[in-house]
Amino acid sequence: MENKDKKNKFALYIKDSSLDVARKWYKEDNCSSISEFIEKAVLFYCGYVSSENNQNYLPNVVISTMKAIMRDSENRHNRNLFRLCVELSMLMNVMAATHDIPQEALNKLRGECVEEVKALNGTHVEVASKSFIDAMHRDANLIWANAIIYNYKDQLTA
């Protein structure tokens, strides 16, 4: 029985410039030798040449590469969104604590904000409805009024 994976040594005539390219890139491709790099290049090129007859080879390579790029990009975006959410949560907690905003007002505002974001569906804030902007101004005025009343409640009851 013949072993088809047995490596054979043979003479290879190659341009110096092509050999320089192989020497430069074989480590980048995680190959242990230039021979391994050239073997991988031959197999890839054979797949490319056969793709003229079989249209599935090259598109699969492109699709798998694109999926890997998208997965990396998605992971990076998710990490950044998580960091942003943590910072925003910290800011909201500090603002609420320093201004003694009642929990009911925060819950009401959160519900209105959720509804408005759903209605905007990813569009710009400039298209926000007039009722939302009016509600934000009304709630902001109520929150500031509550904060002022809370800060001066001792003077008001005297």
Are 133 and 91 contained in the same domain? no
Q: What is the pLDDT of residue 142?
A: 59
Residues 70 and 124: their CA atoms lie apart, in Å, by: 25
Split into its structural domains, the chain has a count of 3
Domain that holds residue 23: 16-50
One-letter amino acid for residue 85 of the chain: C
- Tell me the C-alpha distance between 148 and 158, whole Å: 16
79 and 117 inside one domain: no
**Is pLDDT of 59 > 80?**
no
Chain centroid to Cα 36, Å, comes to 35
> Closest Cα partner for 135 from 106, 118, 113, 153?
113
Mean pLDDT, rounded, for 43-55: 73
CA distance 35 to 43: 12
pLDDT at 72: 92
The closest of 137, 135, 138, 119 to 127, measured between CA atoms, is: 119
